[in-house]
Amino acid sequence: MVEKLSKNFFLYLSKNKILNKGAKKWGLRLGAAQVVAGVTIPSVIEVIKGLNEKGLVCTVDHLGEFVLRKEEAIDSTKKCIETLEAISASGVNSQLSIKLTQLGLDIDRTFCVNNVRQILDAARKTNNFVQIDMEDHSHYYQTLSILEELRKTYDNVGTVLQAYLYSGKKDLAGLRGVPLRLVKGAYKESAEVAFQQKDQIDKNYLEMIKQHLLTGSYTAIASHDHRIIEKVMKFCKQWNIPKTQFEFQMLYGFRTELQEKIAKEGYTMRVYVPFGHDWYGYFMRRLAERPQNVSFALKGLFSKK
């Protein structure tokens, strides 16, 4: 019965500001500890160490989005820089993922870009890479525009493209040579801008993956769908695409056995590891993606561990 709760319901909850505010007080309850690696930098570094020991590399995300106060954006910028410094100091194998709305995009574009530049400077000093997460469609073209601006100065930054958007393949064509994470998409978007049927999204997703790989561009395939993963592996073998040109990515806490299996087969398997107090929106979107995730979370909530 729980698994029949609709995707729309959880996506609606993910944007509820009152619940989001309350979630920061609850701590990692409601099963969120299953998929969020604590709320502090030391806690996430320990999780990354454990994943590295299993042959997995990581990207870490200090959770937060839709910030409307400059003080919050400045604090988030500092946290991102501190995270990069902690990654370097600890010697763990991890990149950094960021959200532009967390860094002030909804406040002022120039302010946001300056914050991102500070983070990229810190990443450059520690020889690291930063991936700009793609958010909902209202921020889509702003994100691509900012990426274009940043790439004129920095080569250690990329972004994410979502296969459920009609414009996915067209936008991808303009990003040849840019390291990208390709995903199906996790936000609720209207039929005016996005495919609504799973088979259409899957088809577009595979086409986008192949398109980017064939240009020789570094491609991160972010999916828990083993059928998609198998098709990508087969395609890369057929076209002699080296394993150094692509990687697979999955979320922390999901399909852990498959993650380790892929790594043991010699592929780069990167785990997206989120942490921080602002975990609520992220957690709700994970519940929305697949009905199975609801049962998974509830198991964590009622676990005696």
Query: Does residue 302 lie within any of the structural domains?
Result: no
Name residues whose C-beta falls within 8 Å of residue 284's C-beta, 6 or more positions apart in sequence: 10, 11, 13, 14
Q: Is 204 exposed, middle or buried (0-12, 13-18, 19+ CB in 10 A)?
A: buried
Are 150 and 173 a contacting pair, CB within 8 Å? no
- Of 117-126, 198-207, 246-255, 271-280, the poorest mean pLDDT is in 271-280
- Assess whether pLDDT exceeds 50 at residue 218: yes
Q: What band does 146 get if pLDDT is binned at 50, 70 and 90?
A: very high
Helices and strands in the chain, H and E counts: 12, 8
Query: Does residue 9 lie within any of the structural domains?
Result: no
Name which of 170, 173, 167 is nearest 185 in CA terms: 167
Percent of the chain with pLDDT over 70: 81
Q: Taking each helix axis as running N to C, give the angle between helix 41-53 and helix 70-90, from 0 to 180 degrees, rounded to the nearest 10.
A: 40
Are 119 and 82 a contacting pair, CB within 8 Å? no
Query: Does residue 243 lie within any of the structural domains?
Result: yes
Catalytic residue among 29, 61, 121, 133: 133
CA gap 215, 191 in Å, rounded = 30
75 noted as active-site residue: no
At 277, which amino acid appears? Answer: H
Query: Does residue 163 lie within any of the structural domains?
Result: yes
Give residue-wise pLDDT tens across range 34-83. Answer: 788 888 999 999 999 999 999 999 999 999 877 899 999 999 999 999 99
Catalytic residue among 61, 69, 155, 181: 181
- Assess whether pLDDT exceeds 50 at residue 304: no
270 noted as active-site residue: no
Are 228 and 214 a contacting pair, CB within 8 Å? no
Take residue 296 and report the two structure tokens written for it.
Answer: 């998974």
At 257, which amino acid appears? Answer: E
Query: Does residue 268 lie within any of the structural domains?
Result: yes
Domain span holding position 67: 37-278
Give residue-wise pLDDT tens across range 235-286. Answer: 999 999 999 999 999 999 989 999 999 999 999 999 999 998 877 667 766 6
* Res 30: pLDDT: 56
What angle (nearest 5°) sits at the alpha carbon of residue 209, between those of residues 92 and 247? 20
Is the model more confident about 294 or about 147?
Answer: 147
Q: What is the mean pLDDT of residues 203-209?
A: 98
Are 55 and 92 a contacting pair, CB within 8 Å? no
Query: Does residue 272 lie within any of the structural domains?
Result: yes
Domains: count for the chain: 1
Query: Does residue 291 lie within any of the structural domains?
Result: no
- Assess whether pLDDT exceeds 80 at residue 229: yes
Name which of 297, 224, 302 is nearest 35 in CA terms: 297
CATH number of 159's domain: 3.20.20.220
Query: Does residue 135 lie within any of the structural domains?
Result: yes
* Res 256: pLDDT: 95
- Assess whether pLDDT exceeds 50 at residue 16: no
